[in-house]
């Protein structure tokens, strides 16, 4: 057998150490939007970005196109880009899609994930519960949960789409979500999902997942329309 084969160097074509500048910039701006350092409705002026990021306008424009395609910014012709602010009906759309697609992802997780991945999922949900009581980093905990879920279930297109939906949901946090007591309830709902996963019951897991997102959507839209 060839000396340079197998998994000596790790599989696959090298993690591409130095990402293209354009992607680094994209990540930074996306992070700024998701952290609400750039608030929905706020305009993104090309010249400002070139200055603050130290890249040329051409690069900035490519980045904006990228984020626009992800739905995080909206470009108004002849006026430029601004951080997307979602309408109530957009929000409803997004939550419905998430319900459908995450149910799909969960079903797959049940079918394809190994024991260790299930344990990791349980650990993640425990972490969420803990951060719901004490004031831990709730956000990071939830991210961790979805990270495990995705790794064990989604490939390619599904993962990409779900990531996009998650990101859009975060935009809604601008209008402060999470009613009192919601975090704890959310943790319980997710725990129910993992219960079903551990029992290897795909349909029950999917249903629990749908329920969770429906509830999340309910409190969200309550805030939006209220």
What binding mask, one character per residue, do residues 17-36 give for a second copy by CB under 8 A, x or -? --xx----------------
Neighbours of 76 (CB within 10 A): 9
Burial of residue 202 (number of CB atoms within 10 Å: 0-12, 13-18, 19+): middle
Among 27, 37, 52, 54, interactor with DNA by CB under 7 A: 54
Per-residue b or e along 208-222, where b marks 16 or more CB atoms closer than 10 Å to that residue's CB: bbbebbeebbebbbe
Neighbours of 64 (CB within 10 A): 21
Ranges of H-type helices in 155-201: 156-172, 182-198
Window 17 to 36, contacts with DNA (CB under 7 A): 18, 20-22
Q: Measured from the CB atom, is 1 or 135 closer to DNA?
A: 1
Q: What's the min distance (Å) between Cβ of 87 and DNA?
A: 19
Q: If you ran DSSP here, which 8-state letter would residue 41 be given?
A: T
Check binding of 78 to DNA (CB under 7 A): yes
Q: If you ran DSSP here, which 8-state letter would residue 96 be given?
A: H
Check binding of 9 to DNA (CB under 7 A): no
Among 59, 84, 131, 153, interactor with DNA by CB under 7 A: 59
Check binding of 66 to DNA (CB under 7 A): no
Check binding of 39 to DNA (CB under 7 A): no
Binding site for a second copy (CB under 8 A): 16, 19-20, 58, 61-62, 65-66, 69-71, 77, 87, 89-90, 93-94, 96-97, 100-101, 103-104, 154-158, 160-161, 168
């Amino acid at each position: 057998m060839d000396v340079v084969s197998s998994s000596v160097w790790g599989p696959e074509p090298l993690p591409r150490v130095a990402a293209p500048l354009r992607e680094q910039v994209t990540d930074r701006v996306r992070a700024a939007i998701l952290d609400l350092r750039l608030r929905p409705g706020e305009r993104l002026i090309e010249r400002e970005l070139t200055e603050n990021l130290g890249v040329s306008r051409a690069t900035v424009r490519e980045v904006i196109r990228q984020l626009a395609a992800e739905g995080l910014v909206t470009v108004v012709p002849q006026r430029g880009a601004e951080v997307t602010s979602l309408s109530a009906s957009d929000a409803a759309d997004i939550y419905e899609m998430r319900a459908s697609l995450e149910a799909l992802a969960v079903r797959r997780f049940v079918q394809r994930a190994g024991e260790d991945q299930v344990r990791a999922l349980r650990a993640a949900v425990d972490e969420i519960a803990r951060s719901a009581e004490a004031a831990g980093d709730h956000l990071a905990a939830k991210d961790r949960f979805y990270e495990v879920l995705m790794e064990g279930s989604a490939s390619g297109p599904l993962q990409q789409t779900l990531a996009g939906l998650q990101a859009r949901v975060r935009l809604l946090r601008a209008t402060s979500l999470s009613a009192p007591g919601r975090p704890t309830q959310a943790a319980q709902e997710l725990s129910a999902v993992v219960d079903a996963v551990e029992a290897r019951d795909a349909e029950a897991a999917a249903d629990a997942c749908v329920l969770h997102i429906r509830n999340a959507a309910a409190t969200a839209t309550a805030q939006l329309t209220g």
